[in-house]
Copies of this chain bind each other. A is one copy, B any other.
Amino acid sequence: MPKISTKNKIVAVALDLFHENGINATSVDDILEASATGKSQFYYYFKSKEGLISAVLESFFKFIRLDASPINHEISSWEDLEDFFNFFLTMNKRFDKPRACPLGFIGAELNSSQVELSKQVNEIFDYMKLALKKFFDKAKKNGDFKKNIDTDSLADFCLAILQGGLMTSKIRQDIKPLKASIKHALKYLAIIRS
Complex: how many Å from CA A170 to CA B122? 11
CB–CB B22/A171 < 8 A:
no
Whether A108 lies near B112 (C-beta < 8 A) is: no
Question: Which of B159, B179, B188 is A153 in contact with, Cβ under 8 Å?
Answer: B179
A53 touches B (CB below 8 Å): no
Q: Is A49 an interface residue (CB 8 A)?
A: no
A169-194 interface (Cβ within 8 A of B): 170-173, 176-181, 183-185, 187-188, 191-192
Q: How far does the Cβ of A125 sit from chain B's closest Cβ, in whole Å?
A: 7
Q: Is the CB of B161 within 8 A of A111?
A: no
Task: Select which of B118, B178, B181 is within 8 A of A161 by beta carbon.
Answer: B181
* Neighbour of A125 across the interface among B110, B156, B172, B179, CB < 8 A: B172
Determine the chain B residues whose CB is within 8 A of the CB of A35 once the complex forms.
Answer: none
B184 touching A159, Cβ below 8 Å: no
A18 to chain B, nearest CB (A): 12
> Known: A97-B112, A111-B21. Contact between A160 and B172, CB under 8 A?
no
Smallest Cβ-Cβ distance to A153: which chain B residue: B180
| Given A109-B22, A111-B21, A173-B118, A181:B156 Cβ within 8 A | yes
